[in-house]
Amino acid sequence: MEHNFWHERWEKNEIGFHQNKPNALLEKHFRDLSLAPGQRVFVPLCGKTLDIGWLLAKGYRVVGAELSETAIQQLFEDLGVPPEISELGPLTRYRARDIDIFVGDIFALDSKTLGPVDAVYDRAALVALPEGMRQDYVAHVREITATAPQFLLTFDYDQAEMPGPPFAIDDGMVRKYYAADYDIERLEELDVAGGLKGRVAAREVAWRLRQR
């Protein structure tokens, strides 16, 4: 993972990937995971997404992982909640009621530190990683979450028209990464209004992954 790239994006506030409202596909389809209030949702590479506030408002507990401490400081400011901050080896934990965020390299996060997880909401992690890192990421998340069900969002567009991130992930790639361990269901796709980054026509696709 290009740590300096992401740190620089956050420090310069170059965060066009940050949405100013909860994700529409999340609002419509997250219930398809059939979670009960109080269950714990892992959001890898979460940034300061408003989706976390939405999940909390629905009664779920949230645990996240994020490289940028700036993003997490802003997340808690936006939530209006002062965090308890502690150091856990290479990671820093920001904690408040019903929410834990681990700041640092996601590959330094193990299952014991993460704790039990009932589902994964991958809104921006898989699409942020170059192809050479995705298999390792998928295997790592599967391991630390005990193959918990996932609600996955991807973008499908012509990668030749624009470099990532976010990277284009087509149906074949999703099945390549997940089919060995999950049953895969494509839930819905939506056109990205105005194009991805305002530059290229793209579709956002929602997937439900359940352990085989």
Binding site feature residues for S-adenosyl-L-methionine: 10, 45, 66, 123
Q: Which of 170, 95, 110 has its CA nearest to residue 145?
A: 110
Please give the helix or strand (H or E) that residue 138 lies within, else none. helix 131-144
Burial class (CB within 10 angstroms; exposed 0-12, middle 13-18, buried 19+) of 3: exposed
> Which residue ranges are tagged as binding site?
10, 45, 66, 123
| DSSP-derived 3-state class of residue 175 | helix
Please give the helix or strand (H or E) that residue 120 lies within, else none. strand 119-122
Question: In angstroms, how far is CA 32 from the centroid of its own chain?
Answer: 17
Separate counts of helices (H) and strands (E) for the chain: 7, 9
Within 13 Å and on the Cβ side, how many CA atoms surround 28? Answer: 11
Q: For residue 165, what is the DSSP state?
A: S
Asked whether 106 and 45 are in contact (CB, 8 A), the reply is yes
